[in-house]
Amino acid sequence: MQFDEAIALSIIEKYKLAPQTLRTWSHRQKIPDKYQEPSFTVRQPLSQEPELQAARNVWRALQTNKFNLQALSRLAGLPSYLLADCKRGKASLAVYELIAIKKAINTLRNEAKAILAASEKIPMPETGKKLLAQFIKRTELHFSLIMSRQKKPYDAFYSWANGKSQSFPDLQYLQVLKSCLLIFLTETTL
């Protein structure tokens, strides 16, 4: 829409935009059309202490580098830049975005918990093995970092999950996997 100072001032007041916005719109001689759409809402940053604490927990989980941010953002249904900004501490999240990120991370954490529960049975049941293979192949995770860069156990599980090895890794490697998953769960606690 064409710039009109009275309309611009009313929009700035209505949506509590920065005062510099008037100067920007005046220079461009245009007010963005999105402000005329009835469904438009301005993102409200987190303000309650529980929300802020949850955002800090998400930030801490992302700092572990165990997540592929682009794939995790797809799982959360959010733009990929948002998680990268969040990891750098530059994002101001809305409540619905925080909830979506937490759900995505908790989905992965719940899978890790299910694998740990299945690994308590010796030998590991086929359903647990299938879940483990899916977990290893998940694009949202950096499995090598979850395995704490322990090369031999990582290689054994990765080649098994991708069909390069027919035999399931031995009990010693399963114990390493369990401890790495416990560390993953501890580091990504929300």
Q: Which sign does the torsion angle of CA 168, 111, 144, 179 carry? A: negative
Does residue 43 surpass a pLDDT of 80? Answer: no
Give mean pLDDT, residues 161-189: 93
Give mean pLDDT, residues 145-163: 92
**Which has the higher per-residue pLDDT, 42 or 157?**
157
Does residue 45 surpass a pLDDT of 80? Answer: no
Give mean pLDDT, residues 110-132: 93
| pLDDT score for 148 | 87
| pLDDT score for 122 | 82
Q: Which of 40-44, 50-54, 78-82, 149-153 has the lowest mean pLDDT?
A: 40-44
**pLDDT tens per residue, range 64-96:** 999 999 999 999 999 988 999 989 888 778 888
Q: Which long-range contacts (CB under 8 A, 24 or more apart) does 10-14 make?
A: 11/35
| Structure-token pair, residue 162 | 């991708």
pTM: 0.78
| pLDDT score for 39 | 78
| pLDDT score for 166 | 87
| pLDDT score for 6 | 93
DSSP string, 152-165: HHHHHHHHHHTTS-
| pLDDT score for 151 | 92
What's the residue count for the chain? 190
pLDDT band at 60 (very low <50, low <70, confident <90, very high): very high
User: In whole numbers, what is the pLDDT of the chain averaged over residues?
Assistant: 91
Token pair 């996997």: residue = 177
Give Cα 22 to chain centroid, integer Å.
35
Does residue 41 surpass a pLDDT of 90? Answer: no
